[in-house]
Amino acid sequence: MQQKIVILNFGSQTTQLIGRRVRELDTFCEILPYNKFPKNDPSVIGVILSGSPYSVHDKDAFKCDLSEIVGKYPVLGICYGAQFISYSNGGSVEQTGTREYGRANLETIDLDNPLFKGFDKGSQVWMSHGDTITAIPSDCHVIASTADVKYAAYASTKNPLWAVQFHPEVFHSTQGKQLLKNFVVDICGSKQEWSPASFVDSTVEELKKQIGNDRVILGLSGGVDSSVCATLLNKAIGKNLTCIFVDHGMLRKNEFQKVMDAYKGLGLNVIGVDASEKFFKDLEGVTDPEQKRKIIGRDFVEVFNEEAKKITDAKWLAQGTIYPDRIESLSITGMTIKSHHNVGGLPKEMKLKLCEPLQWLFKDEVRRVGYELKVPDSLVKRHPFPGPGLAVRILGDITREKVRILQEADDIYIESMHNYQCEDGTSLYDHVWQAGAVLLSTIRSVGVMGDERTYEHPVALRAVTSMDAMTADWARLPYDFLAKVSNEIINKVKGVNRVCYDVSSKPPSTIEWE
């Protein structure tokens, strides 16, 4: 039985980072809404309570029954989680009126406590909270303090319970990974058996049992997710897998043929379908980003259903949905960051059953699984590309002419990245997590070309660095590269007279503009 850490999500922006850090410890974890703890699940070895945007005193604050957890499993409360534990068990949490935010140092640490094994005195942590704990439950004692926060960390003498008011999951808590390792491995007893090899072995067996001799249809996009998904399924069911590449007309320049060519050596049965007319017709006049995604998701499934009629006994639709897609599409607050075309756009009546073998993986884990499966570097290292394609990189309505403009600008940008050599001998493309051009088609910019005034569209270039797409920072691209790309786009792409570079990070922005 696979061991599991359950992370109860109270709405923090960094909840997914906690999960990512636990996975880095070769331990499987599952992020669940704060009130959905899985009762009687023998695979659970520990529980982490996340932070939250709320105060424990807010009327809408997320609260759950801790009696189902405390005393039955090792528990670690983080920030709001620590405050909620104290608040619920006779302690005191007060609204200070000011936020304790930023770097702090643990001036006193109980180095004999298992949570702080291997810590250095003065270890730097990251604070981000408005309330503070002023009294802890009677069965608890303080195990770490900063100059301003007495109860930076506390532990119970009665139960396997620990709580910290800082965020060990973020980069600025310099020994945060050590703290999580102490909890997950030493305290909870993780055997650290979660690995790409174990995932491949267990998933192949699960797929064989789940699918049996049924026929499966898989949508290929050329991206790492669908490529790894296809290879994994091919390993499990072989000839019973039929891959379909749908051209919705909003792919990158020459993408359709490039993708079809890329799979020739993988031994996959791939069918190409040009459905661009249907997608463009259904998207005509639509400007709302969510509506675009839902239309594309709906049409995508409809095309697959049409293809399924041509394939004898096809019963499954496989998709390369990964964990961040599901997390961002399902919100405990009712506020969705965005609906993913594999998640939020599926109609209620779908003729094919869904199979999503990568649904528990973060992006870098998908790549590790890809290497385990011997998927070529050209596919494994490829930047993420949104399922709706350029539709969510064109602000406003979608037309073939706008797609053409963006395809040309994007092609210059991405090819230039491949051709730009860095000091270590690799291309600039390899140093960036994701890059793409965005057409600001709702805006017209005044320009001058020759002796004539132009009134055309700006293009924004986007490039970010990231580990898992949960957070991302804008990439510091060389000025000479940006100058050359900007000049080439304006000179060669009719319809564009201005190029901008996006210097926003996630959060507060998202990687895609829509």
| Annotated catalytic residue 167 | yes
What tokens appear for 459 in the block?
Answer: 């293009």
Q: Which of 503, 284, 498, 311 is nearest to 391 (CA)?
A: 284
| Annotated catalytic residue 79 | yes
442: exposed, middle or buried (Cβ count in 10 Å: 0-12, 13-18, 19+): exposed
CB 415 within 8 A of CB 437: no
| Catalytic residue selected from 169, 365, 456, 514 | 169
| Catalytic residue selected from 167, 248, 341, 457 | 167
Alpha helices in 64-124 (DSSP H): 80-88
Q: Which of 11, 8, 23, 2 is nearest to 331 (CA)?
A: 11
CB 137 within 8 A of CB 89: yes
| Annotated catalytic residue 514 | no
Sorted by sequence, the CB contacts under 8 Å of residue 125 that are 6+ apart come out as 103, 104, 105, 106, 146, 152, 164, 166, 167, 168, 172, 173, 174, 176
| Catalytic residue selected from 29, 79, 188, 243 | 79
Count how many Cα atoms sit within 13 Å of the Cα of residue 231 in the half-sphere of its side chain.
Answer: 24
Q: Is the dihedral of CA 178, 183, 184, 189 positive or negative?
A: positive
- Angle at CA of residue 374, ends 371 and 379, nearest 5°: 70
436: exposed, middle or buried (Cβ count in 10 Å: 0-12, 13-18, 19+): buried
For residues 245 and 131, give the distance between their C-alpha atoms in angstroms, rounded to a whole number. Answer: 52
Catalytic residues: 79, 167, 169
